[in-house]
Amino acid sequence: MDCGHDLSEGCECEPEAEPETEPEPEAEPEPDPEPEPAPAIDEDGHYTTRDDVALYIHTYGRLPSNFMTKKEAEALGWEGGSLEPYAPGMCIGGNRFGNYEGLLPEKDGRSYTECDIDTLGKEKRGAKRIVFSNDGLIYYTDDHYESFTLLYGEE
């Protein structure tokens, strides 16, 4: 700073002290981003129970790989009943469900698919099914389509 004196004669004024400044706080390190949580169900797993199959469909939007359509099973010689002799570990699923009784909500563009539940090791396919839509609705019936319980989605 200039004190206003003639500097050719020398000046013995003390320079003004610089105003004290607070040191800049050190930036806190960014926390490590949370790792993406693993899905609650393995995409490569094989599932046959109501809760597992419903969660799989809800998570991945399709049936697990251990399901095959009736047409695929028939190509192996299956004519009904247990699929075990023709395709061990596999279940029937992936066929269109027509909703002819109108028990499930209709909407333009909505279609339904069905799959068997709890059939491994059984002689007959039984009455348990999951029926799911192409827009996120997942239903369960244990009385062969007489009534439905919504498991995922909003009607």
In a domain, residue 33? The reply is no
pLDDT for 72 beyond 80: yes
For residue 77, give the CATH number of its domain: 3.10.450.30
Cβ atoms within 10 Å of 137's Cβ, excluding its own:
20
Contact between residue 116 and residue 69 where contact means Cβ atoms under 8 Å apart: no
Q: Does 115 reside within a domain?
A: yes
Which amino acid makes up residue 114?
Answer: E
How many independent structural domains does the chain possess? Answer: 1
Q: What is the pLDDT of residue 11?
A: 55
Which pLDDT value is given to residue 34? 72
Domain membership flag for residue 92: yes
Range of the domain at 134: 50-152
In a domain, 39, yes or no: no
Q: What is the pLDDT of residues 24-62, one digit of tens each?
A: 666 666 666 777 777 889 999 999 999 999 999 999 999
Distance CA 141, CA 129 (A): 5
Q: Identify whether 101 is part of a domain.
A: yes
- The answer to whether the CB of 92 falls within 8 A of the CB of 115 is yes
- b (16+ CB within 10 A) / e for 89-121: ebbbbbbebebeeeebeeeeeeebbbbbbbbbe
Q: Is 6 contained in some domain?
A: no
Q: Specify burial of residue 152 (Cβ count, 10 A radius: 0-12, 13-18, 19+).
A: middle
3-class SS of residue 140 = strand
Does 43 reside within a domain? no
Confirm whether 35 is domain-assigned: no
Catalytic residue positions, numbered: 114, 144
Strand order in the sheet with 67-68: 67-68, 91-97, 112-116, 129-133, 138-141, 149-152
Task: Sort strands 129-133 and 112-116 into parallel, antiparallel or unpaired.
Answer: antiparallel
Q: Would you state the pLDDT for residue 38?
A: 77
